[in-house]
Amino acid sequence: DAGVTQSPTHLIKTRGQHVTLRCSPISGHKSVSWYQQVLGQGPQFIFQYYEKEERGRGNFPDRFSARQFPNYSSELNVNALLLGDSALYLCASSLTGREKLFFGSGTQLSVL
């Protein structure tokens, strides 16, 4: 069975650009969460979606947005990139969002 898949695996952008990260959850999982992991820190919650509705948002600026599609896949968008946005972006899925999360391998974003 396929796990959580994320694309791309690596990405290099420059300041001010926009980026879109993609995530496909495990088949049957309806909840997708996004996390940002800066080097040396634990993952930090950005968003959670369940059945295409936003169910939670972390302490991130409005430059960060996300959506979930009818097939439960999800996109994370970041506008006006800053150097500090350089991080590993992790997507996680679960059946309803109230159980343990299954994480993808992440997208490593570097902003130059």
Q: Measure the CA dihedral 93/38/58/27, to 10°.
A: -10
Which residue, 78 or 101, is less far from other proteins as judged by CB? 101
* Contact string 84-103 vs other proteins (x = CB under 8 A): ------x-x-x--xx-xxxx
Among 13, 44, 67, 86, binds other proteins (CB under 8 A): 44
Rounded Cα–Cα distance for residues 32 and 20 (Å): 16
And the tokens for 107? 């997208």
Near other proteins in 10-29, by CB under 8 A: none
Closest CA to 64 of 42, 30, 87: 87
Quote the CA–CA distance of 27 and 44 in Å, as a whole number: 24
Among 28, 41, 70, 71, the residue binding other proteins under the rule CB under 8 A is 41
Which residues form the interface with other proteins (CB under 8 A)? 4, 31, 33, 35, 40-45, 48, 50, 55-58, 90, 92, 94, 97-98, 100-106
